Homo-oligomer: A and B are copies of this chain.
Amino acid sequence: MTSTTAPAAPVPDAAACTHTDTVARFFRALSDPTRLRLLEFVLAAERTSAECVEHVGISQPRVSVHLTCLVDCGYVTARRDGRKLVYSVGDPRVADLVVLARALAADNASALDCCPLIPSADRP
């Protein structure tokens, strides 16, 4: 944690004072169905790029971009194994976050479907 190492920071808690924009961008990484699908796929087990491509069913370049994004945001880490790159989730809090969000989303799924600002794909 970076907050525990800060001795006399002008802010009481680094985590609590992270710019809201940064947190929003952090959420944005999970707001795309393809990226979320990838994250949950990697969350279940270590996966290679090729496995991810097959799982989500979109082009390899696009999957590469999404995975890079997930790595940049700190959700997953990449490791080379021979010719392949293997992606995995190191921080257990990522699973916590997804589980928590899933529980909340499940309890509000029906209402969520009616939100006009965020229309669902199959409900135009």
Interface of A with B (CB < 8 Å)? 1-3, 14-16, 18, 20-33, 35-37, 40, 65-66, 68-69, 72-74, 91, 93-94, 96-98, 100-109, 111-118, 120-121
Contacts and interface: CB of A to CB of B under 8 A. Distances in A.
A31 B35 CA distance: 14
A27 B18 contact: no
Number of copies: 2
A26 B117 CA distance: 11
Given A25-B118, A73-B108, A73-B111, 12 more contacts: A22-B105, A22-B112, A24-B33, A27-B30, A27-B31, A28-B28, A28-B118, A30-B31, A72-B117, A74-B108, A91-B107, A96-B100
Contacts of A30: 24, 27, 31
Taking chain A's interface residues, is the majority helix, strand, or loop, or is none over half, making it mixed?
helix
